[in-house]
Structure 1
């Protein structure tokens, strides 16, 4: 079952059956929400990786290894 979510003029789909994350939020919005909801809690690296991990659907228990791999390659 797919639900159509309307946010402003943008239409996005959320797959309710498979429990996939709603990717309708842009990266800047997710970053803003992280920082505004928890001021002074996250470093720049925390924000970059957490957004990447959420959008890539990396599980909480796999994040330590994934974070090492993420930062082992050069970042533009």
Structure 2
């Protein structure tokens, strides 16, 4: 399966990969991080493509855990 990824999406997948395929957040604070909305959009798009799974932490506002899927590894040319 071929995935058309932006540089930003590829970078995000690579960041998850660098953390052993699982990256926990928060990614910043909504009031302080102007890039957070774009990051959220990139995460949602990668999840919609099946390249990552997003699991919310138990406490509200504590972020999520991003996990590469088999398709995510394949999109990076791994496996």
Name the structure, 1 or 2, with higher relative contact order (CA <8 Å, separation 6+).
Answer: 2
Short-chain TM bin: under 0.3
TM-score normalised per structure 1? 0.26
